[in-house]
Structure 1
Amino acid sequence: MNTERTYKHGKAEPVKVKGHPGLNRRRFSLLQKGAFANLPLRNKFFFIFLIVLILPFSMLIFYSYSSTRDTITEQTYTSLNSTLEQIDTNVENRLDYYKQLSTSLYMDAQLRNYLSSNYEQAYYYLDAFEYINRLLPSLMILNSNLQGITIYTNNKTLYTDEQFVKYMEELPDPLRQRALDAAGGTVYAHSSDYKAEDAHITLARSLSYFSLKHPYGILTMDINSSELYSLIEKENNNKSVYIIDETGGLISTGDRTVTSRKLFDVYPIKDQLADKNGEFDAVINGQKQFFTYKTLSNGWKIVITIPYNELLSNTNKATAHIIWISAIAVAAATLLIFVTSKVITKRIEILLSQIRKVERGDFRLSIKPMGHDEIGQLSFAFNKMAVQIQSLIHDVYEKELAMKESELNTLQAQINPHFLYNTLSSISSLAVKEGAMPVYQMVNYLAKYYRVSLNKGKRIILIEQEINLIRNYVAIQAIRFPYKLHMHYDLDESLFGRTTIKLILQPFIENCINHAIWDESGINIIVKLQLDDGDILLKVIDDGIGMTAEQLERALSKTDNLSGYGIKNVDDRIKLAYGDRYGVHMFSRPGIGTSVTIRIPFAPATDR
């Protein structure tokens, strides 16, 4: 959930403050102390601009300008070809990058398995839906120029969301057929109007695998046309750069004066572009122009043109001198002003970085002495304040921790496990004596449940015990809801010997039973235990009524919505025990079901 904060700024009225002689003398005395950091800004700029003045005049003495019309023309030809090569390399690199990105999806075995599997029931493809809705948006977040990623599938048993997964028939026929004909190779298309706000380039390729007889889908990536425009916009100074397709259709150009959608409507040069690469002269509207072009690997062409009068614009010797000297002076001045600004603001930036560390809760500061001016005094005072705040936080934390531990010990001391077990045993014996076998079974399940959940006051149990706990809990609930609870277990028993904090599964099983059953047929609940990337995953999946995004958000923010152990409560306990990378993740869709994933470390826990 994003939170927006709006800050209102009033207009600041200028305030005139008369100088105070005593205050001025004090400031001056502070500036006297220290080295360069305490010098007045006037002196700093004096020395810097002195260098700036000496440098251009020194270069002017050794500078000489001599060139001819042919030399300038030849240099311009070389520059244009160099620009063409650079643009070609940049465009090829960007297209290759997205090709490699599509290859990563093409080679994704898990994605291939999800897309090519048959789904008999809706909740079976919940994992596939969750995987795709996590994978594709993450790629778009990492690549801001991706307008969309879509997989067109011919698997009619797979649920489509009209965003990331669609059916094959929804892809326009020309592009669909080209992608299928390419047999896994990449093909490209582009928007007809390159000036449109949503103009984009589409990369498409069919998805297939050697063990499958037919392609199982087509992958498309919509790339913002600004991706190509950014590669050529800086090269439009006195020349024009165009990227066109095989028919002359404009894909991108820095020349915003072009109103036609085809380059050949502006420049009748179709025959001259017949070769793969080349250069030529042409007279357009009475003006002689120079053209150079190159063909990309996908058949598109990069065309650069420049009028001849631009090639000869630097023949005036005096103008060339002024331009060069001015450029050098500006560059030198800019560089030195930048260095000056950095020197002046460096200490402020260091102090700001330390303030941001404190803002994030990190009080391990490393502020070195910064002199005795106002910034130096401020850094010293801030460092001292941070130490005091850290000390206060530590004191409060220790007190709260001791208080909570005392409350927990008091609560557990009130529970007498032996009295509870003996009482349940007496009830069980009485039930057998009276022939009340359902009561006998329920009491036995209840005794086993509390034996694990209490666990002599310890919070760490074996995963096998946690699984047995929910088995006993479900057995009790099955008596309450006969023929409605359909449990399925997919457990890696090699992980039974690992440890976990207790009561992390039962709250979610209880939520399925109390809130997810929507008809007399009951509910299917799948409990999974598996190893994933060095961690242990516990999953609870149901095909109940599911939750909307708003309901899920409310559930994640509450602490008392599940049998006293809310979702946030379970998540907080896991993060407190193992760290922030572990915890609870939920995914739900109304009418399909809910999936809960609990991640804990593989390493054994200790009862700390």
Structure 2
Amino acid sequence: MRIKFWLERLPDALFNNAKLRPKLIISYLVAVFLPLLLTGIFLVLKANRMIEDQTNRTFGVSMQQLLYNMETRLSTYEELANHFYFDTALNTDLQKDYSQSSALEIVTVEEAFIQRVKVLLKFKNDLRAVSIYFLNPTLYNAAPYLAFADKDMAARPSFRQAMASGYKGYWGKTVPVPNGSLYWDVNMKPNAAATRVFSYNRPLEFYSERQPVGLLTLEIKESELYQLLSKESGDKNIFLVEPGGEIITSNVRERLGTALDQPVFQRIAPHSAGEFLWRQADGHYKVMYSQLKNGWKMVYMIPVNRLLEETRDMRNHGLLFILVSMIFSVVLIAIFSNLIMSRMTVLLKRIQRMKNGEIEVGQFVRGNDEIAVLDRSFNQMAEQMKYLIDEVYTLNIKKKEAELTALQSQINPHFLYNTLSTVSWLGRKTGTSKCAKLWRASPRSTAFP
């Protein structure tokens, strides 16, 4: 019952007993600002989502463009390897038995290959070395251009993997190599300046034999791939990762030669492409990745704060616009409420003065709206009341005047009669008979016989 009582009293407590001005302001806010607020919030959220999607697409397009550039660059090394792979003269030189040949003949063959490589390196600054690791024991070792693959080198897992790769070739990891040394035969010289290289390796099968006679190795400077990455904006971390998880190149230079973060690598290893969110100690990242034809993966790690920066700016601008709109709406509502209430106040004051007995006649509220019509109706009522009051007041005065006139007409003869009667009695008392005779001789009042 108490709840029912409070529910019945709720409209009076919240609305009916409130002043008109607050009710007008609240009604305007509810009718105008609330839809504006909801619409603004919806548009801001929608715009944020669109900006976020657009940012994702932008980064996705950026990654695909970088992938294309990387594929194009790597394909040039594969095309270069084809020139040696399809060289029938080189095939003959590598398979020939030189056990009966003179040293001059062997040196002439090697010198022809070395000159060919030197001319190539002169015009290809991105190459550090072009080498063939041959299996023919009768050919001289002319490192770093022609080197014999002895048992120790042939036993290396990476070398065996390269020899088994077939026509598609094998892309090796990046390693720091001192100047003057080869990818497969790293001779650490004291104080030698090191550079990072990776290799493309093609077993020389020459199609018909299907039995490798050597391994062609192109040593490529890692800095050539880094130039492609360096053209990207610095708001993201980019990693080119080989299938084992080691970083080939990156715009985060201190990470070169290290392994990609294990949680990230475990997520990207089973898939060729995708994206996910990843949180680590230094922040929250969105990870986007895609696989190249050679099995390497391009990994974008974009800080979420950077990803949502434009979204945050849009949200802040949207909220600021809503706040300014709210203030502007409140000001306009207050102005219009005052305009309405000022006219209502004039009418209320007239009613209050009439209540106190002061009747004012005239048009106090201008216009043709309901308040002006109400004021004119009230003015008509005031005029009628004033007329009735004046009419009653005049009638009362005239009535009083008539009564006074009648009373006066009665009072004057009666007063004269009383005066003469008094004189008569005085005459009798003093013995003056003339006064008494005069009274008896005077005519009697018709009003007082």
Give the alignment's TM-score, normalised by structure 2: 0.52
2:114 alignment counterpart: 133
Equivalent AA in structure 2 for residue 83 of structure 1: S
For the pair 1:92 / 2:89, whether they are aligned, the reply is no
Of 290, 293, 304, which aligns to 1:294?
Answer: 290
Equivalent AA in structure 2 for residue 178 of structure 1: Q
**1:54-69 alignment, distance < 5 Å:** 68-69=47-48
2:95 alignment counterpart: 116
Equivalent AA in structure 2 for residue 146 of structure 1: L
CA shift, 1:153, in A, is: 1.0
Equivalent AA in structure 1 for residue 109 of structure 2: A
**1:549-568 alignment, distance < 5 Å:** none
CA shift, 1:268, in A, is: 4.2
Pick closer, same or farther for the CA change 1:268–1:176 going to 2, 3 Å. Answer: closer
CA shift, 1:71, in A, is: 2.2
CA shift, 1:110, in A, is: 1.6
2:190 alignment counterpart: none
1-structure distance, mates of 2:215, 2:61: 37
Equivalent AA in structure 2 for residue 217 of structure 1: G
Secondary structure of 2:139's aligned partner: coil
1:93-124, Cα deviation, whole Å (9 max, x unpaired)? 11111011011011112222222222221122
Identity of aligned residues (%): 25
Of 169, 183, 202, which aligns to 1:186?
Answer: 169
Secondary structure of 2:215's aligned partner: strand
CA shift, 1:256, in A, is: 3.1
1:65-109, Cα deviation, whole Å (9 max, x unpaired)? x99322221111011111111111111111111011011011112
2:229 alignment counterpart: 232
Pick closer, same or farther for the CA change 1:103–1:160 going to 2, 3 Å. Answer: same
1:533 alignment counterpart: none
Contiguous gaps of at least 5 residues in structure 2 = 1-44, 178-192, 318-449
For the pair 1:285 / 2:266, whether they are aligned, the reply is no
2-structure distance, mates of 1:109, 1:260: 37
Of 83, 86, 109, which aligns to 1:104?
Answer: 83
Asked if structure 2 preserves the Cα contact closer than 8 Å seen for 1:192 and 1:261, the reply is no
CA shift, 1:241, in A, is: 0.6
1:290-337, Cα deviation, whole Å (9 max, x unpaired)? 1110011121110001111112223436999xxxxxxxxxxxxxxxxx
Asked if structure 2 preserves the Cα contact closer than 8 Å seen for 1:146 and 1:221, the reply is yes
2:28 alignment counterpart: none
Asked if structure 2 preserves the Cα contact closer than 8 Å seen for 1:199 and 1:224, the reply is yes
Of 137, 146, 156, which aligns to 2:137?
Answer: 156
Secondary structure of 1:87's aligned partner: helix
Asked if structure 1 preserves the Cα contact closer than 8 Å seen for 2:48 and 2:314, the reply is no
2-structure distance, mates of 1:200, 1:319: 47
2:219 alignment counterpart: 222
Pick closer, same or farther for the CA change 1:193–1:277 going to 2, 3 Å. Answer: farther
Asked if structure 2 preserves the Cα contact closer than 8 Å seen for 1:239 and 1:307, the reply is yes
1:83 alignment counterpart: 62
CA shift, 1:286, in A, is: 7.0
Secondary structure of 1:158's aligned partner: coil
Secondary structure of 2:284's aligned partner: strand
Secondary structure of 1:309's aligned partner: helix
Of 219, 240, 243, which aligns to 1:243?
Answer: 240
CA shift, 1:182, in A, is: 1.8
Contiguous gaps of at least 5 residues in structure 1 = 1-65, 321-608
Equivalent AA in structure 1 for residue 253 of structure 2: R
For the pair 1:310 / 2:306, whether they are aligned, the reply is yes
Secondary structure of 1:289's aligned partner: strand
1:541-581, Cα deviation, whole Å (9 max, x unpaired)? xxxxxxxxxxxxxxxxxxxxxxxxxxxxxxxxxxxxxxxxx
2-structure distance, mates of 1:134, 1:88: 34
2-structure distance, mates of 1:316, 1:129: 66
Equivalent AA in structure 2 for residue 98 of structure 1: Y
2-structure distance, mates of 1:118, 1:269: 48
2:428 alignment counterpart: none
**1:563-602 alignment, distance < 5 Å:** none
Secondary structure of 2:206's aligned partner: coil
2-structure distance, mates of 1:260, 1:181: 24
Pick closer, same or farther for the CA change 1:260–1:207 going to 2, 3 Å. Answer: closer
1:44-78, Cα deviation, whole Å (9 max, x unpaired)? xxxxxxxxxxxxxxxxxxxxxx9932222111101
Secondary structure of 1:283's aligned partner: strand
Give the alignment's TM-score, normalised by structure 1: 0.39
1:427-449, Cα deviation, whole Å (9 max, x unpaired)? xxxxxxxxxxxxxxxxxxxxxxx
CA shift, 1:146, in A, is: 0.6
Secondary structure of 2:289's aligned partner: strand
CA RMSD of aligned residues (A): 2.8
2-structure distance, mates of 1:162, 1:88: 35
Greater radius of gyration (CA): 2
Secondary structure of 2:125's aligned partner: coil
2-structure distance, mates of 1:241, 1:260: 14
Asked if structure 1 preserves the Cα contact closer than 8 Å seen for 2:175 and 2:198, the reply is no
2-structure distance, mates of 1:186, 1:116: 20
Equivalent AA in structure 2 for residue 136 of structure 1: V
**1:29-68 alignment, distance < 5 Å:** 68=47
For the pair 1:166 / 2:147, whether they are aligned, the reply is yes
CA shift, 1:210, in A, is: 4.2
Higher helix content, 1 or 2? 2
Of 203, 207, 214, which aligns to 1:206?
Answer: 203
1-structure distance, mates of 2:194, 2:261: 23
1-structure distance, mates of 2:76, 2:257: 30
2-structure distance, mates of 1:272, 1:164: 38
Secondary structure of 1:68's aligned partner: helix
Pick closer, same or farther for the CA change 1:257–1:116 going to 2, 3 Å. Answer: closer
1:6-41, Cα deviation, whole Å (9 max, x unpaired)? xxxxxxxxxxxxxxxxxxxxxxxxxxxxxxxxxxxx
Pick closer, same or farther for the CA change 1:306–1:318 going to 2, 3 Å. Answer: closer
2:380 alignment counterpart: none
2-structure distance, mates of 1:106, 1:219: 8
**1:478-557 alignment, distance < 5 Å:** none
1:263 alignment counterpart: 260
Asked if structure 1 preserves the Cα contact closer than 8 Å seen for 2:176 and 2:197, the reply is no
Larger relative contact order (Cα-Cα within 8 Å, sequence gap ≥ 6): 2
Equivalent AA in structure 2 for residue 264 of structure 1: D
Equivalent AA in structure 2 for residue 216 of structure 1: V
Pairs aligned (count): 254
Equivalent AA in structure 2 for residue 149 of structure 1: V
CA shift, 1:134, in A, is: 1.1
Asked if structure 2 preserves the Cα contact closer than 8 Å seen for 1:188 and 1:202, the reply is yes
Asked if structure 1 preserves the Cα contact closer than 8 Å seen for 2:132 and 2:145, the reply is yes
